[in-house]
Chains A and B, each alone.
Chain A
């Protein structure tokens, strides 16, 4: 891979910082509970590959010999795939101790899966949560419960194929800050190179960024659907504009990634968490840029990712789970984890992985939560909303009618 972004050396000051934070963490947590014999806990997740950072974190934890053995159980590649298996385990009285759970499932995790309030597991819960940024803790707070540890945070960013960008005669030092700046450049890239210039994800997450950056919301603070506001309509009109102009070719996320990695696409907008995977499979220069906002409107980008929910019911399993979570909060574990491309949710000052600076800058600007779909039919509401977004993108309805349709359908489901 030839990338312009060279890997930065970790400075001595940074290394000392990490070491110092590690000592501080150890002091904060104090003594650990004694486990009479090795207690095994199942960690259910969706990350494939023996060398995936999730596996590295689990191996590093087990190497500490704390008396708790964490067993990695990758039971699917989506939250929707691993959740029913966890439910079956809970119903059978053998829940996994910990499960990676998408932000959007936070309400479901609390009300249906019975995720434990981290502060109520042992005495170290508060100290553990103190290791994370307040903004991240807010994302896992449902009502008065902290339903997990904010483990993985991502945000939408642009991935730019710099070879195509240059070939189109575009200035490599002038990556767009607004979509009004991006779209003419994307059109130029397509015209000059003959390649597909832009692909957006068609889901609920990226459109949420457009709605928010236009000044609207999907759900308001009271959890009511407001995705048909004038601002939201403007945001989604901006979202579909490149498709209407003929330089966004609609593809699924996997198709988009596959095409981008072969060098056939100029720019894609996707999760910052895909950075390591995208780079590993590409042989051209890739630059990550902040997701462009909308001209003249305040930026308000959203986040995504997952948290580690404790589903264990037995006290010893819960305490063992807390032991693992305490390790996850250390600089050592988080440094391993950040290799994924997810953003640092802790207070530790860790080196920013090379090339991820724009995503971190976006995080520093402040990120809102991914939409959490409330109520027992929240997941159905999520699907309905995605379907309406898809109808809009595919031109089967106008933006206004589509968002109105989404609001009506979602209202019925979460009322």
Chain B
């Protein structure tokens, strides 16, 4: 029987994955950069050279600038919130004595993450309805002036952020809970014997031990906030009123699939790639040194 060994065997095993990555990720990325220098008519396969014009017009576009500013706000609000809040909840859940209650909490917190947003969006639209919505009804009972929520340019972004948070925090919670459960019991018990209190244990023992998970979620949460919020934006506000709740990826989606301006859309995609790569590099530079791999 022919035996697979040596470096050929390794290539054989990683080959399919490598080809998938090359053909479905790296090659489209390279082609995208190429398209960004052209005006591309998809149907006539008509390419007109535009040089850097797609980039200049994009950077000067007021809607792009507002989408970029909104993206920065979403990141500044949601990344810390989606890390700190689930982390605190995970610590609290570990201290729940009843296993059944802990499981119930875990399920309740994780359900928003797995619910299809096309369904959840309908419910949220009802809650936010400025005329017959539950939020205004509750607000009125408490003596608060009814709000226009998604239709108010000064509130729409915060409504989207709140729903994106509701939808997204469960995943990190699950990861933190799993990481905390996997901390060797003997380490915790040793700390307890040495007289370490709950706060001390959390800050100086448990947090450093789950730092690889924290680092992983810090990277992925940035990507999730950049990317997955598009679904929330699309269902709730379509980026409005007048782009007040849009973000970079939604701007890209509109450019490509609503206005069919594929050259500029490719330029936006390239800019997003650069921003994400830069943000990820910065995160590695700033935080990797604090990660303790056991």
Q: Does A387 contact B (CB under 8 A)?
A: yes
Q: Which of A247-286 contact B (CB under 8 A)?
A: 249-252, 254-256, 258-259, 262, 264-265
**Given A255-B125, A264-B131, A380-B261, also A390-B41 (CB < 8 A):** no
B63 cross-chain contacts in A, Cβ below 8 A: 387
A187 cross-chain contacts in B, Cβ below 8 A: none
Report the separation of the CA atoms of residues A391 and B242 in the bound assembly, to the nearest whole angstrom: 7
The 7 closest A-B CB pairs, nearest first, are: A259-B131, A387-B242, A84-B257, A380-B259, A390-B242, A379-B259, A390-B241
A184 to chain B minimum Cβ distance, whole angstroms, is 21
A391 cross-chain contacts in B, Cβ below 8 A: 241-242
Q: Contact partner of B151 among A90, A252, A383, A396, CB < 8 A?
A: A252
A-B residue pairs in contact (CB < 8 Å), sample of 5? A90-B43, A250-B151, A255-B125, A255-B131, A377-B261
B254 cross-chain contacts in A, Cβ below 8 A: 383
**Given A112-B41, A394-B241, also A249-B260 (CB < 8 A):** no
Q: Does B180 contact A (CB under 8 A)?
A: no
B151 to chain A minimum Cβ distance, whole angstroms, is 5
A263 to chain B minimum Cβ distance, whole angstroms, is 9
A255 cross-chain contacts in B, Cβ below 8 A: 125, 128-131, 133, 150-151
Q: Does B42 contact A (CB under 8 A)?
A: yes
B130 cross-chain contacts in A, Cβ below 8 A: 249-251, 255
Q: Contact partner of B258 among A258, A383, A387, A396, CB < 8 A?
A: A383
A134 cross-chain contacts in B, Cβ below 8 A: none
Q: Is there an interface contact between A114 and B43, defined as CB atoms closer than 8 Å?
A: yes
B150 cross-chain contacts in A, Cβ below 8 A: 252, 255
Q: Is there an interface contact between B131 and A91, defined as CB atoms closer than 8 Å?
A: no
1/0 per position for B89-128, CB-CB distance to A under 8 A? 0000000000000000000000000000000000001101
B251 to chain A minimum Cβ distance, whole angstroms, is 11
Report the separation of the CA atoms of residues A3 and B43 in the bound assembly, to the nearest whole angstrom: 49
Interface centre among B42, B45, B256 (most CB of A within 10 A): B42
Q: Does B208 contact A (CB under 8 A)?
A: no
Q: Which of A83-134 contact B (CB under 8 A)?
A: 83-84, 87, 90-91, 108, 112-114
Q: Does A330 contact B (CB under 8 A)?
A: no
A412 to chain B minimum Cβ distance, whole angstroms, is 10
Q: Does B221 contact A (CB under 8 A)?
A: no
Q: Is there an interface contact between B261 and A265, defined as CB atoms closer than 8 Å?
A: no
* Contacts beyond the supplied A114-B43, A380-B259, A387-B240: 6 A-B pairs with Cβ under 8 Å: A87-B260, A108-B260, A250-B148, A252-B150, A255-B125, A379-B260
Report the separation of the CA atoms of residues A84 and B265 in the bound assembly, to the nearest whole angstrom: 14
Q: Which of B236-289 contact A (CB under 8 A)?
A: 240-243, 254, 256-261
Q: Which of A352-401 contact B (CB under 8 A)?
A: 377, 379-380, 383, 387-388, 390-391, 394, 396
A387 cross-chain contacts in B, Cβ below 8 A: 63, 240, 242-243
A interface list, Cβ under 8 A from B: 80, 83-84, 87, 90-91, 108, 112-114, 196, 199, 202, 249-252, 254-256, 258-259, 262, 264-265, 377, 379-380, 383, 387-388, 390-391, 394, 396
Interface centre among B131, B150, B258 (most CB of A within 10 A): B131
Closest to B256 in A: A84
Q: Does B212 contact A (CB under 8 A)?
A: no
A87 cross-chain contacts in B, Cβ below 8 A: 42-43, 260
A395 to chain B minimum Cβ distance, whole angstroms, is 10
B153 cross-chain contacts in A, Cβ below 8 A: 394, 396
B65 to chain A minimum Cβ distance, whole angstroms, is 14
Q: Is there an interface contact between B131 and A265, defined as CB atoms closer than 8 Å?
A: yes
The number of chain B residues with a CB under 8 A from chain A is 29
Q: Is there an interface contact between B257 and A80, defined as CB atoms closer than 8 Å?
A: yes
Report the separation of the CA atoms of residues A262 and B129 in the bound assembly, to the nearest whole angstrom: 12
Q: Is there an interface contact between A251 and B151, defined as CB atoms closer than 8 Å?
A: yes
A396 cross-chain contacts in B, Cβ below 8 A: 153, 242
B240 cross-chain contacts in A, Cβ below 8 A: 387, 390
Report the separation of the CA atoms of residues A339 and B228 in the bound assembly, to the nearest whole angstrom: 39
Q: Contact partner of B42 among A91, A249, A254, A258, CB < 8 A?
A: A91
Closest to A88 in B: B42
Q: Does B132 contact A (CB under 8 A)?
A: yes
Q: Is there an interface contact between B41 and A249, defined as CB atoms closer than 8 Å?
A: no
A311 to chain B minimum Cβ distance, whole angstroms, is 10
A381 to chain B minimum Cβ distance, whole angstroms, is 9
B42 to chain A minimum Cβ distance, whole angstroms, is 5
Q: Contact partner of B132 among A112, A262, A379, A380, CB < 8 A?
A: A262
Report the separation of the CA atoms of residues A80 and B234 in the bound assembly, to the nearest whole angstrom: 13
Closest to B146 in A: A249
B152 cross-chain contacts in A, Cβ below 8 A: 394
Q: Is there an interface contact between B241 and A84, defined as CB atoms closer than 8 Å?
A: no
1/0 per position for B11-35, CB-CB distance to A under 8 A? 0000000000000000000000000
B128 cross-chain contacts in A, Cβ below 8 A: 255
B151 cross-chain contacts in A, Cβ below 8 A: 202, 250-252, 255
A394 cross-chain contacts in B, Cβ below 8 A: 152-153, 241-242
**Given A90-B43, A390-B241, A390-B242, also A383-B132 (CB < 8 A):** no
Closest to A199 in B: B131
Closest to A80 in B: B258
B212 to chain A minimum Cβ distance, whole angstroms, is 40
B9 to chain A minimum Cβ distance, whole angstroms, is 38
Q: Contact partner of A91 among B43, B241, B243, B256, CB < 8 A?
A: B43
B258 cross-chain contacts in A, Cβ below 8 A: 80, 379, 383
Report the separation of the CA atoms of residues A196 and B133 in the bound assembly, to the nearest whole angstrom: 13
Report the separation of the CA atoms of residues A69 and B64 in the bound assembly, to the nearest whole angstrom: 45
B266 to chain A minimum Cβ distance, whole angstroms, is 15
Q: Contact partner of A377 among B129, B242, B259, CB < 8 A?
A: B259
A113 cross-chain contacts in B, Cβ below 8 A: 43
Report the separation of the CA atoms of residues A147 and B131 in the bound assembly, to the nearest whole angstrom: 41
B261 cross-chain contacts in A, Cβ below 8 A: 377, 380
Q: Contact partner of B129 among A80, A259, A379, CB < 8 A?
A: A259
A250 cross-chain contacts in B, Cβ below 8 A: 130, 148, 151
B129 cross-chain contacts in A, Cβ below 8 A: 251, 255, 258-259
B43 cross-chain contacts in A, Cβ below 8 A: 87, 90-91, 112-114
Q: Is there an interface contact between B125 and A254, defined as CB atoms closer than 8 Å?
A: yes
B106 to chain A minimum Cβ distance, whole angstroms, is 34
